């Protein structure tokens, strides 16, 4: 036997087909149920016996056909539930003999019985009609019908056939619920894929689609496996690259140490020339660059400890003291507006280094004053650093300045002589806290950098 392909196309086709078929069948079967009910059912023997008994009396006493008073004695019959039975006799010309008024219900039942061509019973809202039983008296044919009160509930489908607008609304609602359930079931693996893709895009290299989705035997399962394979490759590639940078930085320190040792020996021997001084200066810069590369690698290689719940002011106290002293040496003013009541989970060293790099840049380029303030709102803490310097002339550089080794073509960067790692370390440190960082120019001049940190520990960027 050939196996049905377990594909998304087949699932969608069968699901929508079955859903629409159920709705059509449910709505379409109501008229059939009503038609079957309207055709009536055979008369039960007790009711049939009543008709036969009354007909035999009339056959034996034809004068009953002309005497209304004689009919009163025939009303003593009761149905199996003990309810009184009322009888109607109609001649072959359709005239009701024992009642002056031919009710609408009786006329409707007579037509139904004629169409059935057999004795039947039919339940109206609160009444039961049955008959006819036909007999002959004096060469003329008569039809006998019975009526009894019946308080049993009508069949359920009558409610829907009599309320067509409500039935249509329920059908639309039911189809919406079924299609919504189907859409939710089909969208569940897509939501899992989207969540994993978003986490991977934000830097969570360990994000994977859950096992339940990968075990599916359709295109969703294939896509989940392909995504996890891609994520594994990306994680290995990124970590290999970061380890390579870290290893190279470590290896560079060995010849650099020898070079600095040789320079120290040369100075001891009195061989300090302009060239030696220049080599020493460049060696110091190279040492600083290697140190920053190693720090950047440590941040991106998940070498941080667990977060600690600390006061923000306490965490940054040493950094703020150093920045205040440095600003004072340059005849600039540092304004600090950080409440001691602000607490949040942090990696103390990376956060301190991130804020320190931003403050040093702000002090370097500020004309007169620098401000750092912290605000709490919506379960986040925003740290804002302002300076009244020239800002960054090219708006496109406001995001790119946080990339490693990026050098914007602006006066702000050319004067530093740096190599573009300080802000990259800042960015990595903020990302380690699951935070965001943004730079923007302020009017009339100056730069504002905003750091947004979550005040509640979430699934850590580096811990899984």
State residue 452 phi and psi, 5-degree precision. -115, 120
State residue 324 phi and psi, 5-degree precision. -65, -40
Whole-angstrom Cα distance, residue 182 to residue 79? Answer: 52
Q: List the strands of the sheet with 120-123, edge to edge.
A: 41-42, 120-123, 127-137, 140-149, 86-91
Half-sphere exposure of 319 (CA within 13 A, CB side): 21
C-alpha angle 458/463/464, rounded to 5°?
A: 90
Whole-angstrom Cα distance, residue 145 to residue 99? Answer: 12
Residue 378: what pLDDT?
81
For residue 446, what are its two tokens? 């100056």
Write out the CATH class of domain 41-160.
alpha beta
The packing angle between helices 219-268 and 274-300, to 10°, is 150
For residue 211, what are its two tokens? 């096992």
Q: Length of the chain, please?
A: 464
Whole-angstrom Cα distance, residue 98 to residue 40? Answer: 25
User: Are the CB atoms for 122 and 111 separated by under 8 Å?
Assistant: no
Check pLDDT > 60 for residue 234.
Answer: yes
Kindly list the domain boundaries of the chain, sorted by start residue.
41-160, 233-299, 308-454
399: nearest Cα among 362, 449, 333, 328: 449
- Condensed to tens digits (0 to 9), the pLDDT of residues 287-333 reads 777 777 767 666 665 545 678 888 999 999 999 999 999 999 999 99
For residue 414, name the pLDDT band (cuts at 50, 70, 90).
Answer: very low
327: nearest Cα among 278, 269, 372: 372
Does residue 125 or residue 221 have the better pLDDT? 221
Whole-angstrom Cα distance, residue 172 to residue 176? Answer: 6
Does residue 249 or residue 157 have the better pLDDT? 249
For residue 137, what are its two tokens? 């008296």
Q: What is the CATH number of domain 308-454?
A: 3.30.565.10
Number of DSSP helices (H) and strands (E) in the chain, helices first: 15, 12
Catalytic residue ranges: 250
- Condensed to tens digits (0 to 9), the pLDDT of residues 84-101 reads 788 888 888 888 887 756
One fold for 41-160 and 233-299:
no
Check pLDDT > 50 for residue 286.
Answer: yes
End-to-end alpha carbon distance in the chain: 46
In terms of CATH architecture, what is 233-299? Orthogonal Bundle (1.10)
pTM as predicted: 0.49
Residue 65: what pLDDT?
75
């Amino acid at each position: 036997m050939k196996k049905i392909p377990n594909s998304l196309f087949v699932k969608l086709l069968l699901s929508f087909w079955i859903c629409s078929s159920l709705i059509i069948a449910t709505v379409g079967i109501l008229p059939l149920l009503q038609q079957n009910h309207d055709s009536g059912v055979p008369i039960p023997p007790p009711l049939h016996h009543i008709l036969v008994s009354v007909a035999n009396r009339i056959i034996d006493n034809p004068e009953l056909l002309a005497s209304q008073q004689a009919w009163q004695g025939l009303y003593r019959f009761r149905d199996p539930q003990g309810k009184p039975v009322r009888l109607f006799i109609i001649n072959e010309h359709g005239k009701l003999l024992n009642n002056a008024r031919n009710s609408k219900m009786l006329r409707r039942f007579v037509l139904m019985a004629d169409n059935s061509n057999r004795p039947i019973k039919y339940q109206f809202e609160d009444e039961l009609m049955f008959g006819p039983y036909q007999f002959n008296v004096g060469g003329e044919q008569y039809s006998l019908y019975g009526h009894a009160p019946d308080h049993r509930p009508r069949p359920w489908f009558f409610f829907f056939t009599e309320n067509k607008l409500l039935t249509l609304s329920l059908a639309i609602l039911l189809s919406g619920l079924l299609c919504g359930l189907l859409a939710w079931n089909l969208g569940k693996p897509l939501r899992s894929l989207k969540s994993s893709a978003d986490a991977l895009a934000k830097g969570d290299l360990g994000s994977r689609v859950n096992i339940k989705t990968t075990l599916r035997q359709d295109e969703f399962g294939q896509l989940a496996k392909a995504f996890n394979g891609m994520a594994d490759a990306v994680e290995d590639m990124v970590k290999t690259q970061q380890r390579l940078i870290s290893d190279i930085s470590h290896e560079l320190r060995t010849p650099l140490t020898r070079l600095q040792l040789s320079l120290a020996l040369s100075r001891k021997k009195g061989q300090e020339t302009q060239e030696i001084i220049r080599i020493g200066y460049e060696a110091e810069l190279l040492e600083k660059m290697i140190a920053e590369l190693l720090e950047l690698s440590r941040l991106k290689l998940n070498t941080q400890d667990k977060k600690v719940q600390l006061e923000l002011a306490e965490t940054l106290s040493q950094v703020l003291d150093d920045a205040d002293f440095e600003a004072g040496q340059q005849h600039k003013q540092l304004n600090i507006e950080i409440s001691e009541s602000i607490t949040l989970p942090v990696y103390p060293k990376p956060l301190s280094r991130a804020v320190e790099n931003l403050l040093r840049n702000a002090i370097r380029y500020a004309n007169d004053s620098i401000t750092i303030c912290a605000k709490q709102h919506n379960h986040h803490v925003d740290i804002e650093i302002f300076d009244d310097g020239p800002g960054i002339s090219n708006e496109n550089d406001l995001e790119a300045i946080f990339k490693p080794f990026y050098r914007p073509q602006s006066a702000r960067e050319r004067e530093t002589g740096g190599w573009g790692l300080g802000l990259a370390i800042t960015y990595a440190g903020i990302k380690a806290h699951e935070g965001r960082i943004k730079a923007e120019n302020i009017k009339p001049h100056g730069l504002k950098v905003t750091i947004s940190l979550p005040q509640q520990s979430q699934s850590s960027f580096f811990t899984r």
